[in-house]
Amino acid sequence: MADSTVTIVGNITRDPELRFTAGGKGIASFGLAVNRRWQQNGEWQEKVSFFNVTAWDTLGENIAASLTKGTRVIVTGRLEQREYETKEGEKRNVVEIVADEIGPSLRWARAEVERISRDGGGNSGGSNSGGSNNSNAGGGGGSSSGSRAPDPVYGDEEPF
């Protein structure tokens, strides 16, 4: 059976909520609003679609630590349908996006990446937060001090 792979770009509608399964596996969930705008008969039309997104394990934990409501993100994942029962006993179906990859959109923002070591023991010499939502629509370049940070030294290890 083939997966239904999707890639969408939108704004996070609520801060990611991180929960853990009984086995200790993390799962983050959040809402995503995708705006579509087009012109019809000389008038602009707009439609917003809302999606629920979930992310498991380290991806979910990193999302919860890095991204907040309002952040514009790119999500690649698969569509999954699941059934649940309401408190009143009604059966409902919902289609969600289970994220495989996610990152901040850098069209109108900047982000600094902090690489996490695979053993889960903290950072490995990266910079600070990975998912800052600093709006910078006007472009511009360089840091405020005008100096460039030195290139990192990786030794025998290849970067990323």
- What are the residue boundaries of the structural domains of the chain, listed by start? 5-106
Categorize the per-residue pLDDT at 120 as very low, low, confident or very high, splitting at 50, 70 and 90. low
Superfamily of domain 5-106: Nucleic acid-binding proteins (2.40.50.140)
Name the residue among 116, 114, 107, 115 with its Cα closest to residue 134: 107
Confidence of residue 87 (pLDDT cuts 50, 70, 90): very high
pTM of the model as a whole: 0.68
Span 24-71, pLDDT tens digits: 999 999 999 999 999 999 999 999 999 999 999 999 999 999 999 999
Instruction: Give the 3-state secondary structure percentages of the chain, helix then strand then coil, rounded to 5.
Output: 5, 45, 45
> What pLDDT, on the 0 to 100 scale, is given for residue 143?
40
Radius of gyration (C-alpha) of the chain in whole angstroms: 19
Pairing of strands 134-135, 109-110: antiparallel
